[in-house]
Structure 1
């Protein structure tokens, strides 16, 4: 099973990237508990920003292939203007109509205020569903202030989402 995170923070190796790493790691651990092996991949779009603005760029095409090969896709973004970043949108715009059909997707967002916590469900989930993905769990919203407690925050989300996550693994 391939678990892939697409990180849409324009800053390389950001907090968002580290959140993606933690979620992928814990999902892989849950898969292992259920007797399933998994491969983990975290793609930091900040490293490919220039490629994503050029339609048909070979690097961007490779990223799209990697996403297409995933069994579970996490789309991870900081909250900008109450939604996801333009960088993540650049990547999503290159996915063909229904290009995520048959894929399991999990929306994950990070933000500075709990006032934007609905962005994960109001902005990110509709994007994933529009591309054909199934989102069987509630998305994860992490506050900046929770970063030092990240393993516990992700573990709490996994516990709350265990039923849906177990079915998708």
Structure 2
């Protein structure tokens, strides 16, 4: 099965975005995928803002992107765009960090006025970074996410259905994805 990097671009320690991603991580793991969570807020802020790509946190994040077959990216929406924290990390990654990878973008926000942030702000960046396939993402209103005491989330019916469809499309795309090494332009080893 696939190795999936699950990236939260939320700066908040009590983030609905991060909790939603960890909920999806469990669903993907139950389907026998290897899921690696990455909360960008845990990376060294000085290295992020100072563009220190040699810092161990940034170097490790870059490795995680390289090792992943697919990426789920979640972000809260601020000022009609994805978080500046996520932007800081994406700016430090190699230009083709998503080459050949299947990507699922998710966003959370307080109002439906931000619903197009995925398509108009995040999707172009993911495509520019070489994503092999950016599946249709999903926007979830904050009020449709209930934080549970056990660290999980409960989604209202509409949000659960939308997120479920997006996740299903992502998994289907993973099943159809070509070998990531050949998609990235690297030779695929063959048995002699």
Q: Give the structure-1-normalised TM-score.
A: 0.86
Greater helix share, 1 or 2? 1
2:48 aligned with 1:52:
yes
Say whether the 8 Å CA contact 2:10–2:86 is kept in structure 1: yes
Give the structure-2-normalised TM-score: 0.76
Kept after mapping to 2: 8 A contact 1:7/1:75: yes
Aligned residues: 163
Q: Is the 8 A contact 1:108 1:139 kept in 2?
A: yes
Counterpart in 1 of 2:185? none
Partner of 1:102: 100
1:2 aligns with 2:3: yes
Matches within 5 A, 1:6-155: 6-29=7-30, 32=31, 37-48=32-43, 49-54=45-50, 55=52, 56-148=54-146, 149-150=154-155, 153-155=159-161
1:168 aligns with 2:174: yes
Deviations 1:90-147 (A, max 9, x none): 1101111212111111111100001110101111111100100133421111110110
Listed as ranges, the gaps of 5+ residues in structure 1 are none
Is 1:158 aligned to 2:154, yes or no?
no
User: Which structure is richer in relative contact order (CA contacts within 8 A, separation 6 or more)?
Assistant: 1
Compute the RMSD of aligned alpha carbons.
Answer: 2.0
1:50 Cα deviation after fit: 3.1
Give me the whole-angstrom Cα distance separating, in 1, the residues matched to 2:114 and 2:83.
Answer: 14
Higher strand share: 2
The gaps in structure 2 that reach 5 residues or longer are 147-153, 176-192
